[in-house]
Amino acid sequence: MRPGDVVALEENALEKKGTKARQERGVVFRVTDTLMTIAIDDAQGKSKSEDDVRTDFTLPPTVRVVKLVNEVTYTRMEKSLDTLVQVLGMADPTSELGAAASSTVRSLFGLHPPTWEKTSREHALHNARLNTTQKDALDFCMRAQQFALVHGPPGTGKTTLIAELVVQLACAHPNARILVCGASNLAVDNLLERVLLTHGYKEPLNAANACVTRIGHPARVLPSLTNATLDVQTTHSSEGMLVREVAQEIEQLMSQLAVHRDTPRAGNKSGRTAPRPKGAERRKMWEQVRELRKEYRKRERSLTGTILQRARIVMATCHGAGSRQLQNIEFDYVIIDEAAQALEAACWTAILKLKSDGKLFLAGDHLQLPPTVKAQNTRSDLAGHLTSQLSVQMENGGALRPPMTLETTLFDRLLAMYGDDAKALLRVQYRMNDEIMAFPNEALYEGKLLADPSCSSIRLCDSNTEEMDAELWNAPVVFYDTTGTGMFDKLAEDDAQGSLLQSKSRCNENEVVLVERHITMLVEHGIDPSWIAVLSPYASQVDLLSSQLGQKYEQAIEIGTVDGMQGREKEVVVISLVRSNEEHDVGFLQDKRRLNVAMTRAKRQFVVVGDAETISGSAQDKRAARAFLRDWIDHLHSHALVEMNPEV
């Protein structure tokens, strides 16, 4: 369970035959090892009759929490694709494809080439710390006539640039409305934080009367940013007082009507005199409640519309852009961050909010992890819904080649159609030292990345002035090569015994020992455990690492999967590759995008624990994925501090 998950609470007991357990729906707000906080849905206004009215909330003696599928997301994506079919004219066989669509939409389907103004504009930067490549990317976006792509490799300040772009657009176009989206709530919150808290942004935004509003459930928003949410802004606005007055009247009436449910048993005198409306009086009170609820919903919708009309900058997830609150609002600009992690259908939910002359900006890194898609081998209904029709209409020379998997994002597709001319590359990274950056830079980014002087030579010993061992302690890259030690991987015990989960996750207990040994050495040398992250591609290995290290270091060390670390960084990153077997089977490690994420999280030291022989595989295996792994192992043996055949 993670914050933002939709869940149901129900009694953890065997239901009688023919009965259904009562459920309370909600959203996970916070999760720790011992506590889960859930925001329960408000049932106000949803009941059909007096018996359905929710007057209070009580938990049964034992409760189970059931994770639910968030069907709203899929419904909105399907609705967006239906709308797109209409926009492109595909619903009418006699119409020309895309004839009535905007220039931006046509360019996204190869029906109209994207264009840029030839003359650069002068921009008074509000964030003076932007580097040359960020300035060039900003100019590239400001000159775009339809869309622009921003390619931001790890640590290159992509979010910083997008925040500056938002402020530039808001200030340069006083009446423009800007929709800022992200593939996840965290991506949206990161942008929101940059826009609200970056020094130098508050004054120009106030001068441009550019109010910022965040759409979404408050439980899915970082606590420090809730004041920017639509819910909080409506509650604390002057108009919100009228809505609160109606809510208080409803609450008072409901408390009177609910007394009979809590009336104490005979013998308890404190409850005998409680008022208990009956008959005509009770029916009249229920009628008042119904009328007040109608008034409440009417005022709430009006208030929400007022707040959103004031907001010139609206932030939401991609599917959140399809919410009812934004139903009749159009935008001059749509910006999507982490677009290389978003399903194309989700992006269209936001793009269809553009005005006819609106412009689109996509930022991301297609060389890191794509969206998580489980149906890899067949085209899903969602993908086929749109692309099957495009295949028929564009097969004679069209530029678009519909993808066969949802993993192909809009960012990927536009790069394939228009090449590097459609993107601006951010080249200066502020995270990794030169040694950590070296391999991913050469193997994936054509050697175009540069480490900023502030990070190019940072070491662990920078934090400690004592004379330290220059080997394991201070090496930027360390490789524990377990080749020939018999430290084989295995199926996790639960999976091997045929558990219900059947995740087929693998683990390697010996690698856990090596990880713990290295971390112990670092902590003994004065490294704060909070500086360290331990990663693995396998959930079972993460569980083993957590059980071994979590209590010892009081949860200070971050332990998780590679996927969960995307977009984040730590001073030290230790990765347990797990795979060690005679078949040279590497599983998840075949995906170089996943490895790219793992390789580019560390700032001062990157530690790899794995079996070089298994990872490299046979020299006769010419597959590109295997060649990438062989090149990586060769690089580690040549440039890392290698601990060969470490003993457990």
Q: Tokens in use for 39?
A: 């925001």
Q: How confident is the model at residue 647 (pLDDT cuts 50, 70, 90)?
A: confident
Phi, psi of 322 (to 5 degrees): -90, 15
Secondary structure of 296-347 in HEC code, one letter for each residue: HHHHHHHHHHHHHHHEEEEEEECHHHHCHHHCCCCEEEEEEECHHHCCHHHH
Asked if 315 and 192 touch (Cβ cutoff 8 Å), the reply is: yes
* Closest by CA position to 6, among listed 220, 236, 298: 220
Write out pLDDT tens, residues 357-404.
999 999 999 999 988 887 655 544 545 555 554 544 444 444 456 677
CA distance 334 to 311: 14
Which single residue is written with the structure tokens 């564009």?
A: 394
CA distance 216 to 219: 8
Average pLDDT along the chain: 84
Asked if 264 and 236 touch (Cβ cutoff 8 Å), the reply is: no
CA distance 11 to 295: 34
Residue 474: predicted pLDDT: 82
Q: Do domains 73-210+312-374+392-425 and 457-644 have the same CATH topology?
A: yes
CA distance 468 to 132: 38
Which single residue is written with the structure tokens 């004839």?
A: 99
Residue 246: predicted pLDDT: 67
Rounded (5°) CA angle 74-75-78: 85
User: Which of 263-277, 504-518, 607-621 bottoms out in mean pLDDT, i.e. has the lowest?
Assistant: 263-277
Residue 223: predicted pLDDT: 79
Position 220 pLDDT exceeds 90: no
Question: What string of DSSP letters covers 52-87?
Answer: G--------SSEEEEE---HHHHHHHHHHHHHHHHH
Q: How confident is the model at residue 635 (pLDDT cuts 50, 70, 90)?
A: very high
- Measure CA 613 to chain center: 35
Residue 488: predicted pLDDT: 94
Residue 499: predicted pLDDT: 40
Position 152 pLDDT exceeds 90: yes
Rounded (5°) CA angle 481-482-484: 120
User: Which of 55-69, 318-332, 540-554 bottoms out in mean pLDDT, i.e. has the lowest?
Assistant: 55-69
Q: How confident is the model at residue 117 (pLDDT cuts 50, 70, 90)?
A: very high
- What is the pLDDT averaged over residues 49-72? 68
User: Which of 200-204, 311-315, 388-392 bottoms out in mean pLDDT, i.e. has the lowest?
Assistant: 388-392
CA distance 482 to 633: 12
CA distance 450 to 441: 9
H-assigned helices in 143-226? 158-172, 185-197, 202-207
Q: Tokens in use for 95?
A: 């119409």
Residue 284: predicted pLDDT: 79
Q: How confident is the model at residue 617 (pLDDT cuts 50, 70, 90)?
A: confident
Secondary structure of 518-581 in HEC code, one letter for each residue: HHHHHHHCCCCHHHEEEEECCHHHHHHHHHHHCCCCCCCCEEEECHHHCCCCEEEEEEECCCCC
* Closest by CA position to 59, among listed 8, 18, 93: 8
Write out pLDDT tens, residues 337-358.
999 999 999 999 999 999 999 9
Asked if 562 and 575 touch (Cβ cutoff 8 Å), the reply is: yes
Q: How confident is the model at residue 481 (pLDDT cuts 50, 70, 90)?
A: very high
pLDDT > 90: percent of the chain:
52
Q: Return the top range by mean pLDDT from 61-70, 380-389, 427-436.
A: 427-436
Position 625 pLDDT exceeds 80: yes
* Closest by CA position to 156, among listed 139, 172, 136, 141: 136
CA distance 137 to 161: 8
Asked if 159 and 426 touch (Cβ cutoff 8 Å), the reply is: no
Per-domain residue ranges of the chain: 5-43+58-69, 73-210+312-374+392-425, 457-644
Phi, psi of 32 (to 5 degrees): -125, -175
Position 631 pLDDT exceeds 90: yes
Asked if 180 and 193 touch (Cβ cutoff 8 Å), the reply is: no
Fold of 73-210+312-374+392-425: Rossmann fold (3.40.50)
Secondary structure of 626-640 in HEC code, one letter for each residue: HHHHHHHHHHHHHHC
Q: Tokens in use for 333?
A: 């600009």
Residue 245: predicted pLDDT: 67
CA 595, 363, 356, 301 torsion-angle sign: positive
Q: How confident is the model at residue 145 (pLDDT cuts 50, 70, 90)?
A: very high
Tell me 41's DSSP state. Answer: P
Q: Tokens in use for 354?
A: 């553009």
82 CB contacts (<8 Å, ≥6 apart)? none
Secondary structure of 96-161 in HEC code, one letter for each residue: CCCCCCCHHHHHHCCCCCCCECCCCCCCCCCCCCCCHHHHHHHHHHHCECCEEEEECCCCCCHHHH
Position 414 pLDDT exceeds 70: yes
Residue 391: predicted pLDDT: 47
* Kind of pairing between the strands at 602-610 and 641-644: unpaired
Residue 497: predicted pLDDT: 44
Q: Tokens in use for 86?
A: 């209409």
Phi, psi of 392 (to 5 degrees): -70, -45
pTM recorded for the entire structure: 0.82
Which single residue is written with the structure tokens 């003696």?
A: 61
Q: How far is CA 484 from CA 124, 590, 614, in A?
A: 60, 22, 10
- Neighbouring-strand partners of residue 230: none
Which residue did the predictor score with more confidence, 178 or 31? 178
pLDDT > 70: percent of the chain:
83
Residue 216: predicted pLDDT: 83
- What is the pLDDT averaged over residues 135-150? 97
- What is the pLDDT averaged over residues 244-261? 67
Which residue did the predictor score with more confidence, 26 or 18? 26
Position 620 pLDDT exceeds 70: yes
- CATH code of 457-644, in short, is 3.40.50.300
Position 444 pLDDT exceeds 70: yes
Residue 239: predicted pLDDT: 61
